[in-house]
Structure formats: C-alpha cells, structure tokens
Amino acid sequence: MKKIGQWQWLEKEEVGSTNDEALILSQEIKSGKYVVTAQRQTNGRGRRGRSWIGYDGNLFMSFIQEIELSQIGQIVFVVSLSLLESLQAIFPKIDIKLKWPNDVLVENNKISGILLEKGAGKYLIIGIGVNLCGAPKLSGVLYPATSLKDKGYETDRLTLFEKYVEIYDKNCQILKEQGFMPIREKWLRNVKGLGEKIEVHTEKETKIGIFKDIDTNGALLLEEKNGLEKIYAGDIFYIDKK
C-alpha cells in the first residue's frame, strides 16, 4: 500500500468496481483513511442501479472515510466542488459547472459520476469516476456524457488523482473547521441554473420551478407557485431560455 496526502492508497490493475474493493477493505480496517484506484474497471456501478461504463485511461477511485452522520448530506458537495476545483487548477480556462446534486459538467456535458455507498461500521465509500478519455455515446439520453479528451482537455489519471486528493483534503478541513457554509457558497458560485427555471424529476413526479438555493443539508430549494419546496433526491433538467 502507498500513501497519498492523508490517505493509504491501494492501486489495482483491474477490478470489477472500485466501490466493491473499497467495501471489502472497509471490513478489514479499524481506523484511518483509505483510497482504492484502478487502471481498469470492468463492472462499474452508477446511481439508481445504472451501470458505469469505464474506458481504459479514465479515472476510477473510491475513498473510504469515516463521516459523521450529520455530514453525510454535505459530503457530496465537497466531492463535486473538489473535482471542479482540481480540473480548474489543471485547465484554468475550462468551461465547467456543477449540476445538483453531484454532477460536473464540461461545456454542458456530464464528465463524471459520484456514487456514495455505506461501508462497514462508520465508513462511507465515495466512488468517483471521471471520463478522461472515453465516454459512452448513447443516443436519446437527456444528459449526454462526454470525456475531457473529446472536449480538447488532455491529462492523465494520476495527475488528476493527485490534484483531487490535495484539494479534497483542503475542503474537508474547511468543512471540519468552518462547517458547510463556505463549501455551500463556493458550490453555489459554480452551479448551473441558479435563479433559473428548472425541471426536477423525482422518483414520483416532475416538478417545475425556480432553482433558489440549497439548504444546510444540500437539499434543493425549488420555488413553486405555492412556495418553497425542498427536494432531497432527483435529476434536474434545464429549460432552454428563449
């Protein structure tokens, strides 16, 4: 095992899913922070039971971290913000935005995915995939994925991994010492669609309203005719401005 920043780092050549490897590791450890990366991922998992197709050369990483229950809702914002900031550090001119709750968009296309799962004990598994050089080209998808390479931004997985760990550690420190507010402010400065009309697809229904804010747990605050609605989970879609 190697070390990176404050993390014990396990690098694998090939895995089914780095989140599965991380779950197994979380059962064997008692304390400390661990991260698993893989050069190739053959059976990656995405949110809501979807699969995550992993092209060789893309970044697959799963962090194993003890998180206070009260901060579980907030950590995803630290993760997506840190990913945005690390890509901005590598490509200062990149056109990059965040999309609630946990996507990163480059020129309006999704380039990454974040999957939080429960690990053993108090551990949370934070799985992150970044499309560095390949992304599935699916037609009919409302939110098409792309890769950084397709958009003209080339870097290698370890350069981004190292930058990400550095920035994520700093942002976790901010969360620990100053709470969610500074993270929330930075996140809101970089989110797409704030103050605009959006459509939110939850498991049960579709809602339309103005994207007003996020609350202290990261729930989306949608202004509808009858007032502010709190939305805890869903996919958002932007309504084209005419």
Site for ligand BTN in 32-51 (CB under 6 A): 44-47, 50
Smallest distance, Å, CB 227 to ligand BTN? 31
Could you tell me which stretch among 63-71, 123-131, 190-198, 230-238 binds ligand BTN (CB under 6 A)? 123-131
Are 52 and 45 in contact by the 8 Å Cβ rule? The answer is: yes
* CB closer to ligand BTN, 125 vs 209: 125
Q: How far apart are CA 132 and CA 129, in angstroms?
A: 9
186 binds ligand BTN (CB under 6 A): no
Binding-site size for ligand BTN (CB under 6 A) equals 17
18 binds ligand BTN (CB under 6 A): yes
**For residue 14, how many other CB atoms are within 10 A of its CB?**
10
60 binds ligand BTN (CB under 6 A): yes
113 binds ligand BTN (CB under 6 A): yes
| DSSP conformation class of 179 | -
* CB closer to ligand BTN, 119 vs 127: 127
19 binds ligand BTN (CB under 6 A): yes
Assigned token pair, 96: 């990059």
Q: How far apart are CA 40 and CA 52, in angstroms?
A: 12
Smallest distance, Å, CB 208 to ligand BTN? 23
Give me the sign of the Cα torsion angle 238, 234, 16, 161.
positive
Could you tell me which stretch among 4-12, 26-34, 93-101, 108-116 binds ligand BTN (CB under 6 A)? 108-116
Angle at 18 between CA 190 and CA 20, to 5 degrees: 120
Q: How far apart are CA 81 and CA 110, in angstroms?
A: 14
Site for ligand BTN in 64-83 (CB under 6 A): none
Assigned token pair, 35: 């991260």
Could you tell me which stretch among 64-72, 127-135, 206-214, 217-225 binds ligand BTN (CB under 6 A)? 127-135
Residue found by looking up tokens 């200062």 in the block? 92
Could you tell me which stretch among 6-14, 124-132, 156-164, 225-233 binds ligand BTN (CB under 6 A)? 124-132
**127: phi then psi, degrees, rounded to nearest 5:** -95, 130
Closest CA to 207 of 240, 234, 167, 180: 234
62 binds ligand BTN (CB under 6 A): yes
Smallest distance, Å, CB 37 to ligand BTN? 9
Cis-peptide into 101, omega within 30 deg: yes
List residues binding ligand BTN (CB under 6 A): 17-19, 44-47, 50, 52, 60, 62, 113-115, 127-129
